[in-house]
C-alpha cells in the first residue's frame, strides 16, 4: 500500500492538544516531559491548558505543534508495532512524507533526518526568530480565494505584496506590509476574487519581511546535524525531494522567507503514485486542503487514541 505521512503547520494549535495521547501512552508521557527538559519551560502545560493567547504566540505554537505531531507519530508507530508485529514494518515506511511549512520539520524527524531533540530546539528558535522579524517589520497575510495563480502573481507584483503560500487551486495566501496586502486584496476583488480573508497572524511569514529570521536560522543551523532521510521528504520551497543534508538545510532556511508550494508538494506525491495520506498531528486542516486538490484522495486523520484504533481496524480489513 503506497501512502504518505503529512504534518500540519502553524495555526492548527488548540488548548488540550496531545492530552488524549498522554492519557493513553506512556511513550507520550515520556516525550512531553522530555520536551519540558529540552526547552526549559513547561510546554506540556501550555499544550494541555493554555491559555490560547500564550499558546498562539509564534515562539510557542511552533514547538507545540511540532511536539504534538511527533508524539502522535510515535504513538501510532508504537501501537502498530505492538499489534502487527512483523507486518508493521511496511506500514511504518511511507513512500513519501511532507509537511506544510513548520510541518516539514516533523516530516524530517519522521524520516530520521533530524533528531527529536534538535528538531524541537530548531522550531523553538525558528518561532523566536520569526516573531522578532514580525515585530521589526510590521506585516500581515491574506488568503485570496477564486483567483488563478498567474493572475495573483501579477496582482502581487503590482501591489508590492508577495505570494506566501500556494495551498490549493484558487486558494493562495499573500503576505507583505499592511498597505501592500490591502492594495492586493482590493485589486483581486476587482478582478473577480470570491473573497480575501485577512489571517490572524503575527506577521508576513514566507515573505521578504522574514529575511532577518532566515539569516538567524542559517547561523543557528550550522551546528545542527542533519542526516540523509530514510525515505522521501518533500521540500516546501522546491516541491521536490533531496537526500543531501546540505540541501535539506538550505531548503529549511529558505522556507522562512520564500513561498511554500504545498499544492505542488501534494501533486508530486500523487505523481509518485500515492493516493492515501495520514495527516498526523493536531487538526484537520490538511485534509480540507487535499480535498480541494483532489477529492478522490484518501486522508486519515491521526490525532487521538481513537483515530489510531480506527486506522488500525481499517488497515486490517484492507489487508484481509
Q: Which residues of 76-111 are buried (b: 16+ CB within 10 A; e: fewer)?
A: bbbbbeeebeeebeebeebbbbbbbbbbbbbbbbbb
Give the predicted TM-score (pTM) of the model. 0.95
Whether the CB-CB separation of 19 and 48 falls below 8 Å is answered with yes
Name the grid cell of 259. Answer: 513561498
Q: Of the CATH numbers 3.40.50.410, 3.30.70.250, 3.40.430.10, 1.20.1250.20, which one belongs to the domain with range 138-198?
A: 3.30.70.250
- At residue 202 the predicted structure's pLDDT band, cuts being 50, 70 and 90, is confident
- At residue 178 the predicted structure's pLDDT band, cuts being 50, 70 and 90, is very high
CATH topology of domain 4-135+207-319: Malonyl-Coenzyme A Acyl Carrier Protein; domain 2 (3.40.366)
User: Which residues belong to the active site?
Assistant: 101, 206
Helices (H) and strands (E) in the chain, counts: 15, 8
What span, in angstroms and rounded, lies between the C-alpha atoms of 19 and 12?
Answer: 15
What span, in angstroms and rounded, lies between the C-alpha atoms of 71 and 87?
Answer: 22
pLDDT of the residue at 143: 94
pLDDT tens digits along 270-284: 999 999 999 999 999
> How much is the average pLDDT of 110-117?
98
Whether residue 319 is predicted with pLDDT greater than 60 in this model: the reply is: no
Whether residue 60 is predicted with pLDDT greater than 80 in this model: the reply is: yes
For the chain, give the mean pLDDT: 94
Name the grid cell of 25. Answer: 501512552
Domain boundaries, the chain: 4-135+207-319, 138-198
What span, in angstroms and rounded, lies between the C-alpha atoms of 143 and 120?
Answer: 28
Question: CB burial class (10 A; 0-12, 13-18, 19+) of residue 15?
Answer: middle
Amino acid at each position: 500500500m503506497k501512502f504518505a505521512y503529512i504534518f500540519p503547520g502553524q495555526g492548527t494549535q488548540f488548548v488540550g492538544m496531545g492530552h488524549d495521547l498522554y492519557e493513553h501512552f506512556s511513550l507520550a508521557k515520556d516525550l512531553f516531559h522530555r520536551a519540558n527538559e529540552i526547552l526549559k519551560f513547561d510546554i506540556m502545560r501550555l499544550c494541555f491548558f493554555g491559555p490560547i493567547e500564550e499558546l498562539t504566540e509564534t515562539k510557542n505554537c511552533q514547538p507545540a505543534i511540532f511536539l504534538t505531531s511527533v508524539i502522535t507519530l510515535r504513538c501510532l508507530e508504537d501501537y502498530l508495532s505492538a499489534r502487527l508485529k512483523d507486518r508493521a514494518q511496511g506500514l511504518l515506511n511511507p513512500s513519501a512524507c511532507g509537511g506544510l511549512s513548520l510541518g516539514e520539520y516533523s516530516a524530517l524527524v519522521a524520516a530520521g533526518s533530524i533528531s527529536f531533540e534538535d528538531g524541537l530546539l530548531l522550531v523553538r528558535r525558528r518561532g523566536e526568530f520569526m516573531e522578532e522579524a514580525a515585530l521589526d517589520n510590521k506585516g500581515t497575510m491574506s488568503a485570496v480565494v477564486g483567483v488563478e495563480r498567474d493572475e495573483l502573481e501579477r496582482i502581487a507584483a503590482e501591489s508590492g505584496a508577495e505570494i506566501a503560500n500556494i495551498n490549493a487551486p484558487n486558494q493562495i495566501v499573500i503576505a507583505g506590509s499592511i498597505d501592500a496586502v490591502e492594495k492586493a486584496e482590493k485589486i483581486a476583488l476587482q478582478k473577480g476574487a470570491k473573497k480575501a480573508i485577512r489571517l490572524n497572524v503575527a506577521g508576513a511569514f514566507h515573505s521578504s519581511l522574514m529575511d532577518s529570521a532566515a539569516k538567524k536560522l542559517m547561523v543557528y543551523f550550522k551546528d545542527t546535524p542533519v542526516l540523509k532521510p530514510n525515505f522521501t521528504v518533500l521540500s516546501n520551497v522546491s516541491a521536490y525531494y533531496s537526500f543531501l543534508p546540505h540541501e535539506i538545510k538550505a531548503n529549511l532556511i529558505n522556507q522562512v522567507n520564500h513561498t511554500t508550494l504545498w499544492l505542488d508538494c501534494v501533486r508530486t506525491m500523487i505523481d509518485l503514485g500515492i493516493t492515501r495520506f495520514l495527516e498526523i498531528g493536531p487538526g484537520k486542516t490538511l485534509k480540507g486542503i487535499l480535498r480541494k486538490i483532489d477529492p478522490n484522495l484518501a486522508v486519515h486523520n491521526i490525532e487521538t487514541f481513537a483515530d489510531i484504533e480506527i486506522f488500525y481496524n481499517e488497515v486490517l480489513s484492507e489487508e484481509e
